[in-house]
Amino acid sequence: MRIVIQDNYDKMCLWAANYIADKINSHKEDRPFVLGLPTGSSPVGVYKELIRKNKAGEVSFANVVTFNMDEYVGLPHDHEQSYWYFMYDNLFNHLVDMKPENINIPDGMAEDPEAECARYEEKIASYGGIDLFMGGIGVDGHLAFNEPYTSLSSRTGVRALTTDTKIVNSRFFGNDPGKVPSTALSVGIGTVTDSREVLILISGHNKARALAATVEGGISQKWTCSALQMHNGAIIACDEEACGELTVDTYKYFLDIERGERL
Ligand code: GLP
């Protein structure tokens, strides 16, 4: 696992956007670059920088296919808290060359949610899998909506949100957990870890326990993020604030590696 510690949120986002743009630009294969994407506050700065680069001609999305991680069940696309709305508002509407037919987001309004999840998983497979999956993380360590005790080999499916997650996410629903949908469609932990590379953004003091569990804890379905320990291409991009629960030695070790002082 590679841990990239940046001074603050803005620098973390800049680092991640540069990394993603470099990967897209160096993709020379005769097939699209397949990019997995999250919602939430963590990726907003990354999206801003990718939009800037795209408009400046520094990165093109013409040959990029995207798959989003998750979506609430029952929120129509034009609902401001649907992840569909979030993605168009924060990224897709602003890219100059993203092809609409290359955008994939699980349909939370599907009549048959299980069938929608199977279709989604098959569509990812039809592109030969995901090249780079960027993600965020919940305070309880969930990746996408894979809450504690979701199988670490899970595939795309319907998930029940924990009370904790409903409370945390209620900040977007007028601080009323009762207004947060109780279920969501989510790629599985297995879907994420099957990707060639995984880049997870972890920022802020409230994510410190989740970062420590991801890096230093045992592999456990209690912290679904810990499955990343089994992935050979996993990168955590984080900020100083999120490092508060790491041991000093762990923190220094990863800083030294990135500074080239241990190579
Ligand atoms: C939600 C999403 C996750 C996201 C998490 C963290 O629960 N389902 O995909 O990673 O929130 O969000 P934030 O980045 O706003 O802290």
Give me the phi and psi of 103, to 5 degrees please.
-95, 125
- For 89-139, what is each residue's pLDDT tens digit? 999 999 999 999 999 999 999 999 999 999 999 999 999 999 999 999 999
Distance from C-alpha of 156 to C-alpha of 59, rounded to nearest angstrom: 29
Q: Which atom of ligand 1 is nearest to the CA of 137?
A: 10
In the three-class reduction of DSSP (H, G, I as helix; E, B as strand; rest coil), residue 86 is classed as helix
Residues 48 and 12: their CA atoms lie apart, in Å, by 13
Tens-place pLDDT, residues 248-263:
999 999 999 999 887 6
Residue 202 has, within 13 A of its CA and on its CB side, a CA count of: 37
Q: Whose CA is nearest to atom 6 of ligand 1?
A: 138
Please state, as a whole number, how many other Cβ atoms lie within 10 Å of the Cβ of residue 178: 9
Mean pLDDT for 30-50 is 97
Q: Which residues are catalytic?
A: 70, 140, 142, 147
Supply the pLDDT for residue 261.
81
3-state helix, strand, coil in the chain (%, to 5): 40, 20, 40
Tell me what the mean pLDDT of segment 238-247 comes to: 98
